[in-house]
């Protein structure tokens, strides 16, 4: 489509979202050739992804193949692990494996939801705070200071205690506790990003400040937040289960890992280790999968 | 330096005020009828109304806020619904138990995390480093209650090496007279060595649970900052002029890594203040965390709010102490130069 003059060189669209993602990723992930296969370069990432994949399959399909998590069988209480009851049975004769599988759906969903909400809200606030600065930034920063002055677990705990025990309330409370991390992270990235030339270019091209902030600066500032989100998903699972262990948020008889550990904890000192240690192990392995992924990605990004 | 400290102190006071305000907001302003929550699930309307009047929950929000702030800053955290006792007094009474647990846990975490981190940094890329990394990732994905249960099952139920999760001392053992509130130290000061050993044996499992988990962040931080210090130019120079390796490791490396390590220990202490609810509940440890646990079970919001304020204030105080340590470690802060490390 030449008009007779020289054709301008095609530089691509420098502001397009994700265009510069490869700068945040290690060269090998960005697709540059490397002699070693992925599992040699990033063993933790691969192990984490495999474990997480198994969890997702179990969460999606598992409940179809195991029994009802609520059904009791008083004649079969405290049976040790066997082929019929892989994880044994609890004091009511409920199948611990069936409960743990059903719980996987709940816990994994909650963990990912919390990380997602915290990242979306946190980075939106972070980009406004960092890009526009001024008194908004000042207020946001002082607020995050105060929120971060609480251990996150305690903040989530008192929030749920105040607004009441329910699954949505737990998601809200834990999300609130993790939002400040994403605000800080995004803001720091935005502060560096807004000085770059493409931002001036976007402004000169006539984009309004909000458009520049959200369409141009934000997508380029999200790299570290994705890594943080992987870590937060793991911590969120630990936090939710920890709260449930204390009787906060998700309550019995819901099949949830933390609830199951709380119900099984007294059995430990009478020797029925399976009622608490199996669901607890599921929590730790799930959190570990997210940590592995976050840690191996983060080695290059954070 | 005094200017620096004054400024830090001012910020801390502002943070404490912020914490107290946020707690008010969470407990009183958020949707959810505070009186209904306090009255519990089985209360009738009269009981709810009674509680509403007793706690002044009918007053306009601003009046409530004024009363609350006035109380909070005179150290009055209200009356517990569960025990009818003064929350401030009850918390102070339980604080030494929590502090003793916290002190030994962080000590254990430092004893594991610092040397392991130094070795991992000095042998970067070897199997020791790999083991350190796996340990660190495991630590940051460990559920305190699960590790605690594992330790109880194996070290108490199976092997009987340590006493079961019941209290700070065996039933029937008289606690040593209070000097510091730390049973181990009080018993030693009073020459009751049997009691001291017993206190340590009861501390062992909860301390092991917290210490192993808390070692992970310390290890990570020590390793990262040691690597940075060892790759610096002054270390290259030291190597070039033939300074012995051991001296480089500790004088040039570790001393420069101390600042981030102090930060890590501070973070760990803060985490501890939240995590101890779980561990104190699990081990029936009679500290503030267990107090908060009991409060939660009966919706005792006054007690819970008191706990949160105390934790917040401790955390802020801790940060001031860390800043003092910073100033002591790093002459650049003492002398008011800009710190880039």
pLDDT value at position B111? 92
Report pLDDT for B335: 66
Chain A interface includes B293 (CB < 8 A) = yes
Q: Is the pLDDT confidence value at A117 over 90?
A: yes
Q: Which residue has the higher pLDDT, A7 or B276?
A: B276
Residue with tokens 């009055």: B76
Backbone angles phi, psi at B120, to 5 degrees: -60, -40
Distance, in Å, from the CA atom of A58 to the CA atom of A102, rounded to the nearest integer, reads 9
C-alpha B178/C-alpha A234 separation (Å) is 42
Q: What is the mean pLDDT of residues B334-340?
A: 57
Of B119, B145, B147, the closest CA to residue B277 belongs to B145
In chain A, the percentage of residues whose pLDDT exceeds 90 is 18
Within the 233-262 window of chain A, which residues sit less than 8 Å (CB to CB) from chain B? 234, 238, 241-242, 245-248, 258, 261
Q: Give the dihedral of Cα atoms B236, B240, B241, B247; nearest 10 deg.
A: 50
Alpha helices, DSSP H, located in chain B = 2-24, 34-39, 45-54, 61-73, 87-122, 127-140, 144-151, 183-189, 193-230, 233-240, 245-247, 255-282, 288-297, 301-329, 331-334
Binding-face residues of A in 158-197 toward B, CB within 8 A: 158-159, 161-164
Which of A16-20, A39-43, A291-295, B282-286 shows the lowest mean pLDDT across its residues? A16-20
pLDDT in the model for residue B320: 83
- Residues A207-256 have pLDDT tens digits of 888 888 888 888 888 888 888 898 899 999 999 999 999 988 888 888 78
Separation CA B194–CA A281 (nearest Å): 37
Residue in B with minimal Cα distance to A295: B137
Long-range CB pairs of B79-85 (<8 Å, 24+ gap) are B79/B302, B80/B295, B80/B300, B80/B302, B80/B303, B80/B306, B81/B38, B81/B298, B81/B299, B81/B300, B81/B301, B81/B302, B81/B303, B82/B294, B82/B295, B82/B298, B82/B300, B82/B303, B83/B303
Inter-chain touch B15–A149, beta carbons under 8 Å: yes
Q: Is the pLDDT of residue A127 over 50?
A: yes
pLDDT at B33: 62
The residue whose two tokens read 């691969």 is A46
For every residue of B34-74, DSSP letters joined together read: HHHHHH-TT--HHHHHHHHHHTTTTS-HHHHHHHHHHHHHT
B234-285 tens-digit pLDDT: 888 888 888 888 888 877 777 777 887 887 788 787 777 766 889 999 988 8
User: Region B34-61: what's the mean pLDDT?
Assistant: 72
Whether a cis peptide bond, with omega within 30° of 0, leads into A253 is yes
Tell me how far CA of residue B202 lies from CA of B91, B164, B165, in angstroms. 22, 8, 8
Residues of A with Cβ-Cβ distance to B164 under 8 angstroms: 269
pLDDT at residue B171 above 90? no
Cβ atoms of residues A260 and A103 within 8 Å: yes
Q: How far apart are CA A293 and CA A149, in angstroms?
A: 28
Mean pLDDT of B176-187: 80
CA distances from B340 to A127, B11, B243, B259, B337 (A): 25, 21, 26, 11, 9
pTM metric for this prediction: 0.84
Residue where the block lists tokens 């102490």: B321
Rounded Cα gap, residues A156 and A267, in angstroms: 28
Q: Which residue of B has its CA nearest to A270?
A: B157
Task: Please provide the size of chain A in residues.
Answer: 302
Interface of B with A in 14-33 (CB under 8 A): 14-15, 18-19, 22-23, 26-27, 30-32
pLDDT confidence of residue B1: 65
b/e map B111-140, b = 16+ CB within 10 Å = ebbbebbbbbbbeeeeeebeebbebbbbbb
Residues on chain B touching A258 (C-beta within 8 angstroms): 145
- The answer, yes or no, to whether residue A32 has pLDDT greater than 70, is no
**pLDDT for the residue numbered B31:** 61
pLDDT in tens, B196-233: 888 888 888 999 999 999 898 889 888 888 888 888 88
């Amino acid at each position: 489509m030449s008009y007779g003059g020289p054709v301008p060189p095609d530089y691509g669209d420098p502001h397009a979202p994700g265009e510069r993602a490869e700068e945040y990723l290690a060269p090998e992930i960005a697709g540059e050739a490397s002699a070693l296969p992925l599992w040699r370069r990033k063993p933790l990432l691969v192990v984490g992804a495999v474990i997480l994949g198994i969890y997702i399959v179990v969460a999606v399909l598992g409940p179809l193949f195991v029994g009802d998590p609520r059904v009791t069988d008083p004649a079969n209480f405290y049976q040790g692990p066997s082929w019929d009851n892989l994880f044994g049975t609890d004091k009511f004769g409920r199948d611990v494996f069936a409960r743990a599988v059903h719980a996987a759906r709940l816990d994994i969903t909650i963990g990912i939801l919390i990380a997602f909400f915290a990242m979306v809200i946190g980075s939106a606030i972070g980009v406004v705070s960092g890009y526009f600065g001024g008194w908004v930034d000042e207020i946001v920063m002082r607020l995050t200071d105060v929120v971060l002055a609480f251990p996150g677990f305690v903040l989530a705990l008192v929030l749920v205690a105040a607004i009441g025990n329910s699954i949505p309330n737990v998601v809200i409370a834990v999300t609130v506790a993790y939002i400040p991390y994403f605000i800080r992270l995004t803001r720091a990235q935005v502060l560096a990003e807004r000085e770059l030339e493409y931002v001036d270019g976007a402004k000169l091209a006539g984009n309004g400040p909000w458009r520049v902030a959200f369409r141009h600066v934000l997508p380029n500032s999200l790299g570290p937040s994705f890594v943080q989100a992987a870590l937060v998903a793991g911590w969120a699972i630990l936090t939710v289960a920890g709260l449930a262990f204390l009787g906060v948020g998700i309550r019995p008889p819901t099949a949830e890992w933390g609830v199951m550990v709380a119900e099984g904890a007294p059995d430990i000192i009478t020797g029925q280790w399976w009622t608490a240690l199996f669901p607890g192990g599921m929590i730790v392995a799930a959190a570990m999968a997210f940590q592995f992924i976050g840690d191996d990605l983060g080695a290059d990004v954070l | 330096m005094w200017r620096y400290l004054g400024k830090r102190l001012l910020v801390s006071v502002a943070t404490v005020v912020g914490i107290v305000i946020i707690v008010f907001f969470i407990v009183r302003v958020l949707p959810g009828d505070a009186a209904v929550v306090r009255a519990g699930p089985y209360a009738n309307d009269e009981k709810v109304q009674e509680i509403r009047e007793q706690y002044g929950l009918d007053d306009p929000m601003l009046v409530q806020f004024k009363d609350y702030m006035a109380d909070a800053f005179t150290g009055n955290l209200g009356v517990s619904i569960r025990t009818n006792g003064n929350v401030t007094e009850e918390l102070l009474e339980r604080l030494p138990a929590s502090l003793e647990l916290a002190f030994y846990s962080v000590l254990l975490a430092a004893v594991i995390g610092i040397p392991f981190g130094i070795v991992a940094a000095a042998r970067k890329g070897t199997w020791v480093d790999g083991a350190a990394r796996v340990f660190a990732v495991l630590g940051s994905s460990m559920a305190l209650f699960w590790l605690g249960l594992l330790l109880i099952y194996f070290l108490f139920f199976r092997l009987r090496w340590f006493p079961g999760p019941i209290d700070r001392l065996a039933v029937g053992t008289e606690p040593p007279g209070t000097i510091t509130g730390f049973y181990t130290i009080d018993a030693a000061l009073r020459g009751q060595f049997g009691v001291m050993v017993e206190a340590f044996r009861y501390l062992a499992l909860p301390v092991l649970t917290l210490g192993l988990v808390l070692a992970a962040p310390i290890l990570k931080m020590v390793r990262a900052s040691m690597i940075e210090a060892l790759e610096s130019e002054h270390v290259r120079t030291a190597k070039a002029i033939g300074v012995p390796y051991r001296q480089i490791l500790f004088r040039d490396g570790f001393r420069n890594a101390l600042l981030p390590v102090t930060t890590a220990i501070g973070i760990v202490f803060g985490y501890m203040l939240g995590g101890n609810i779980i561990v104190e509940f699990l081990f029936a440890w009679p500290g503030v965390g267990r107090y908060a646990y009991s409060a939660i079970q009966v919706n005792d919001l006054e007690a819970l709010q008191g706990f949160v304020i105390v934790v917040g204030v401790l955390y802020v105080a801790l940060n001031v102490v860390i800043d003092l340590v910073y100033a002591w470690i790093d002459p650049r802060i003492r002398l008011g130069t800009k710190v880039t490390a």
